[in-house]
Structure 1
Amino acid sequence: MYTERYEDYSLPGGGLNSGEDKIKGMMRELSEETGATAIRNIKPFGIYEEYRPWYKPDYDVQHMISYCYTCDINKELGKSNLESYEKKNGMKALWINIHEAIKHNKKTMATNDKKGMSVERETFLLQLIAERIH
């Protein structure tokens, strides 16, 4: 996923609905954000846990656990169903070489003052994926 507002690449993902199964949530988010079809061969990849500053009243910190999976999908993406804030941020699904995405994100982290809070996590995960697939 490329996000114009933050000038970075990230993996598709998002929050689970209350009581939602992790695999079903992953499939829903992947389909919503990318239009992916025929999601199959789903395998756990890892868990990324982080604490980050939070902007809502009565809370200082957000504790987030990201459950990461690998899967296969059809190469041709269907129509996405992005949330309004995702559209507003200029988020779109793009196929890009993983090494180019990592290089781009590293440049964004080094030079862009409007970077999002997730670029470090996303770049770390992209690097881990790149190491394991080669």
Structure 2
Amino acid sequence: MRLLKTAIHPSVNANDPRQFTRLTGRAIALNGTDILLMYTARYEDYSLPGGGIDEGESIEQGLIRELQEETGAQNIKILNEFGLYEEYRPWYKDDFAVIHIKSYCYYCSIDEKLGQAQLEHYEQQNGMTAKWVNIYDAIAHNERTLANSDKQGLSIIRETYLLKQIAEQLK
């Protein structure tokens, strides 16, 4: 899969041996210029649905599972690869200093109507909801959050970058 970007948080050393790698799958489901995204009220941002790959799963299997759980998506088909975004961030648990996140992004087709999501407890607490949103509105929203909010999480930089790259492909 083509590497889109490597982002290194300014407070970490990407070569620090006290790091672990987390593989994630992220779905790009489009309907014209609308894209299926997760809105997180806690951070006031939009992100691609998806998440961590469990042991024994392929990236594609984990992506399908996460997409179903987070959004209630039905009839999921992985169409093709979009790209890999990797990042190195600070980590403060389990004797690690750095987390190396590798986000594998895929175009997917799904039914427009979503079923019942099965969010994890922390996702519910953070106010996560699946929404079809105009991609340009989502980019503008995330950019406003980056400029004006002190509640933003570390993921918004990745998500805004990915949304802009996807929008470029729509042109």
Distance 1:104 1:113 in 2: 14
* Structure 2 match to 1:35: 72
* Structure 2 match to 1:104: 141
What one-letter code is carried by the residue in structure 1 that aligns with 2:99? Q
Aligned to 1:102, the other structure's residue is in SS state helix
Distance 2:53 2:64 in 1: 11
* Structure 2 match to 1:72: 109
TM-score (norm 2): 0.76
Q: 2:100 aligns with which of 63, 87, 100?
A: 63
More strand by share: 2
Q: 1:124 aligns with which of 161, 166, 170?
A: 161
Aligned to 1:93, the other structure's residue is in SS state strand
Distance 1:5 1:24 in 2: 28
Query: What RMSD over aligned residues (CA atoms) do the two structures have, in Å?
Result: 0.8
Q: 1:19 aligns with which of 38, 56, 59?
A: 56
Q: 2:81 aligns with which of 44, 55, 65?
A: 44
Aligned to 2:51, the other structure's residue is in SS state coil
What one-letter code is carried by the residue in structure 2 that aligns with 1:37? Q
Runs of 4+ in 1 over 4 A off after TM superposition: none
Q: How many residues align?
A: 134
* Structure 2 match to 1:89: 126
More helix by share: 1
Identity %: 57
Q: 5+ unaligned residues in a row in structure 1: which ranges?
A: none
Aligned to 2:118, the other structure's residue is in SS state coil
What one-letter code is carried by the residue in structure 2 that aligns with 1:83? E
Distance 2:152 2:89 in 1: 14
What one-letter code is carried by the residue in structure 1 that aligns with 2:80? K
Offset of residue 42 of structure 1 = 2.3
Contact 2:73–2:115 (CA<8 Å) still a contact in 1?
A: yes
Offset of residue 133 of structure 1 = 1.6
Distance 2:48 2:152 in 1: 16
Distance 1:12 1:57 in 2: 26
Offset of residue 41 of structure 1 = 4.5
Distance 1:112 1:89 in 2: 16
Offset of residue 76 of structure 1 = 0.3
